[in-house]
């Protein structure tokens, strides 16, 4: 459970940094998202999940 909460804390830190350091980029991305095909967004999300799982697996070995 501690690992999960640590991961959640890191997620919040990274998200907070994006909002704090690059708010204009975030606004531009939110305007751009509707023009990106759903399949491309889904593929990127699945790739990010796969990369995250692989990194956790490598770090925990």
Per-residue pLDDT of the chain (61 residues; tens, 9 = 90+): 888 899 999 999 999 999 999 999 999 999 999 999 999 999 999 999 999 999 989 988 8
Cα 21 → chain centroid: 16
Helix (H, G, I), strand (E, B) or coil at 12: helix
Count of domains observed in the chain: 1
CB 24 within 8 A of CB 16: no
Q: How far does the chain reach from its first CA to its final CA, in angstroms?
A: 18
What range defines the domain where residue 10 resides?
2-60
CA–CA distance, 41 with 30 (Å, rounded to integer): 13
* CA-wise closest residue to 29 among 14, 18, 43, 42: 18
């Amino acid at each position: 459970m501690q690992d999960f909460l640590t991961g959640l804390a890191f997620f919040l830190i990274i998200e907070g940094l994006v909002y704090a350091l690059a708010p204009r980029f975030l606004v531009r991305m939110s305007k751009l998202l509707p023009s990106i095909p759903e399949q491309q967004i889904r593929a990127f999300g699945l790739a990010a999940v796969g990369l995250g799982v692989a990194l956790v697996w490598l770090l925990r070995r």
